[in-house]
Amino acid sequence: MSGIKITFAYDSNGVRVDADSYGAFPIAHPLICPDKNCEAFLEHVNGYKRESYGKQQFIPVFYRLEKGFDHSEYCSYKSSGRDTIVAGESDHEVKDALAKGELLFRIHVMDAEERKKLKDKAGVFQQFPPNDTTERKYRNRGRRSTYVRTMNSLLEIYNHGRLNPQDRAKIRLIIGGKLVKWTDFFYSTNHLGSLKSRLHREGIVQAAVVVKVSVIGLPNQKLKGFCFIECSPKTTGLGKHIYTTLKLAKSLPSSHFALNQNIMVLGKFCIPEPSDRVTPSYLGNEIRALITHTQQVVKV
């Protein structure tokens, strides 16, 4: 029998371990249910997001029962009731889906803004934990579109579309609650002109962009001490070049990047204000994305 999401647990030394600070210090396993009437073992679950048509949900970090354990009869975290929720099955991987011609994908990889939303929700979740103890029985009703949980899987979709023009026209991605075409989500350096045109129209565009690292900058004191990765530009003949720059969170060391490395980055891209530019204006145009976690980046 399942229970509600738990926001803290006690380790075997009796030390409280909040779900949102898990891993910040040594833990004496196993982790135990916080209810004094219960000795069930718990496991930590990372926060994640869910994508569906017209809706995006952020699920903060929490604890759940370890496999084979149940809460005691009088535990306050034990579930009750008989409400049923229907959930779809989505256990097949991206490679298998592409091979079968299943070309609709839900992007669960998160960019910097989405990670911040998840972190903010985790704070509220920790302060006001859920008190719904309804037992949820999940059953399958057909297949849903495939989850894309990593940048490696996202790269699989990019490469498949690049090499298979017919499938490329059919691939659809659910991200930010919207249905997006392959051509409106993936961009290489050669296609930065199209992305820049969209940025002028829309202001901000969520995209996965393939670039080549050309400069790994030191902390820029004029720009509040942030480090920036500068990428090889899109050359435009007689027109101005288009440069991609990646603003790194101060918690993300620039050592994660290597010169001349080809990478795909997921982010919300924009055109920086003139005072916030890294690339001198006489060299060309600049587009920018914020990178806060290595899980936004994959080597190509």
Per-residue pLDDT of 46-99, as tens digits, reads 887 766 666 667 777 888 888 888 888 778 777 654 333 333 444 358 999 999
Question: CA-to-CA distance for 75 and 128, rounded, in angstroms?
Answer: 19
Tell me which residue of 261, 269, 267, 259 sits closest to 293, measured CA to CA.
267
Tell me which residue of 1, 295, 225 sits closest to 135, measured CA to CA.
1
Question: CA-to-CA distance for 68 and 201, rounded, in angstroms?
Answer: 54
Beta bridge partners, 268, equal 206
At 229-263, the pLDDT tens digits run: 999 999 876 778 999 999 999 889 999 999 999 99
Extents of the domains making up the chain: 8-94+110-139, 185-299
pLDDT band at 119 (very low <50, low <70, confident <90, very high): low
Quick one: tokens of 74?
Answer: 């009088």
Domain 185-299 has CATH 3.40.50: no
Question: CA-to-CA distance for 243 and 248, rounded, in angstroms?
Answer: 16
Other residues' Cβ atoms within 10 Å of the Cβ of residue 147 = 21
- Torsional sign, CA 229, 232, 237, 238: positive
Q: Position of tokens 């050359």? A: 235
Other residues' Cβ atoms within 10 Å of the Cβ of residue 202 = 10
Instruction: Supply the pLDDT for residue 145.
Output: 77
At 158-201, the pLDDT tens digits run: 999 999 999 999 999 988 788 999 999 999 999 999 999 999 99
pTM greater than 0.85 (yes/no): no
Other residues' Cβ atoms within 10 Å of the Cβ of residue 90 = 13
